[in-house]
Homo-oligomer: A and B are copies of this chain.
Amino acid sequence: MIAENFGVNCAAATPVGADGAPRLDLFAAHCKALLNEGCHGVALLGTTGEANNFAVSERKALLEAALKAGVRGDQLLPGTSSCNVPETIELTRHAVDHGARACVLLPPFYYKGVSDEGLFHFYASVIEVVADDRLRVILYHIPQVTQVPISHELIARLRDAFPGIVAGIKDSAGDIANMTAMIERFPGFAVLAGADPLLLPLLQAGGAGCITATSNLRSDALRVIWDNWSDPEAADKVTAAQDRINGWRTLTNAYVQLPTVKAMLAKARGDADWRNLRAPLVKLTDEETNAVWAEMDRLNA
């Protein structure tokens, strides 16, 4: 059994106006640009997309805005989790009904130290009530944020209960050993890197692609890796692309990552509203923004 290839997917940032309202126009244009720049898909409303800073109705409106602008449903991998089952069902059903390729599902993240039994019930409740053969679930492992890891035992149990539906995992913990262990243990399970520097080693280990933040800015380099990684004659090109993406990734960590990515998008997309974030996140100062922009010029030189 071969895991489905998901390719290069962008953990798309979500633009908001100075008043905090989603800029649907800017978001739709960003999604279309990402696909033109090399992304296979747009993983909207993840951690970089500030999903949990938005209300359920706003999250639906953002997905619909991308579709209205001409993005196809099978190019979208929205995050559709909330801490509670009913709103996760509502968002997941909405995404499936709009043709989303897959839904990226965080575990509920308020309570800590919860059991695999409880997490299984959370995911099972959502899958059973959505009750749609089109549903594909990508689990989302980002324990440094959620403090709620996705264990291999939980994955095994979910795959047994919902074969074909529980299709893969986004692993943002940054540990290639965990990713390769899942590839080895779970045939046909799509393991996606959440960290840009791990795309090449993950593909070499049998991974299915990536969902990353830096692809908001440099999906072209990630796409070079994806298209050429298995061609021995392209080794230099692939290494250069991974080096390039790593440089941009390093810049996104110059300050707090999300505000930095958005400051970079303000320059790349030419709209100052990209600098804004929803509370509790805070935008970079003008001075920080100018420093990041200068570094972008250097990387592009």
Q: Is the CB of B107 within 8 A of A280?
A: yes
Q: Is the CB of B84 within 8 A of A278?
A: yes
Residues of B within 8 A of A110 (CB): 47, 52-53, 109, 145-146
- Which positions 44-74 of chain A face chain B at CB distance < 8 Å? 47, 52-56, 58
Q: Which B-chain residue is minimally distant from A83 (CB atoms)?
A: B52
Q: How many copies does the complex hold?
A: 2
A186 interfacial contact with B, CB 8 Å: no
Q: Is the CB of B280 within 8 A of A114?
A: yes
A interface residues, tally (CB under 8 Å): 39
Q: Which B-chain residue is minimally distant from A58 (CB atoms)?
A: B86
A279 CB contact (under 8 Å) in B47, B109, B118: B118
Q: Is the CB of A84 within 8 A of B117?
A: no
Residues of B within 8 A of A20 (CB): 85, 125
Against B, the Cβ 8 Å flags (1 = close, 0 = not) of A93-109 are 00000000000000111
Give the complex CA separation of A110 and B48 in angstroms.
12
Residues of B within 8 A of A281 (CB): 111, 114, 118
Residues of B within 8 A of A82 (CB): 55
A162 interfacial contact with B, CB 8 Å: no
Q: Which B-chain residue is minimally distant from A278 (CB atoms)?
A: B85
Residues of B within 8 A of A278 (CB): 84-85
Q: Is the CB of B147 within 8 A of A108?
A: no
A111 CB contact (under 8 Å) in B83, B114, B118, B145: B145
Q: Is the CB of B55 within 8 A of A122?
A: no
A299 interfacial contact with B, CB 8 Å: no
Q: Is the CB of B280 within 8 A of A118?
A: yes
CB distance from A237 to the nearest CB of B (A): 37
Give the complex CA separation of A47 and B110 in angstroms.
9
Against B, the Cβ 8 Å flags (1 = close, 0 = not) of A187-198 are 000000000000
A residues contacting B by CB (< 8 A) are 20, 47, 52-56, 58, 82-87, 90, 107-112, 114-115, 117-119, 121-122, 125, 144-148, 278-282
What 7 pairs across the A-B complex have the smallest Cβ distances? A118-B280, A122-B279, A121-B279, A52-B110, A52-B83, A55-B86, A114-B280
A53-B84, A58-B86, A84-B278 known; 5 other A-B pairs, CB under 8 Å?
A52-B84, A54-B84, A55-B87, A56-B87, A108-B279
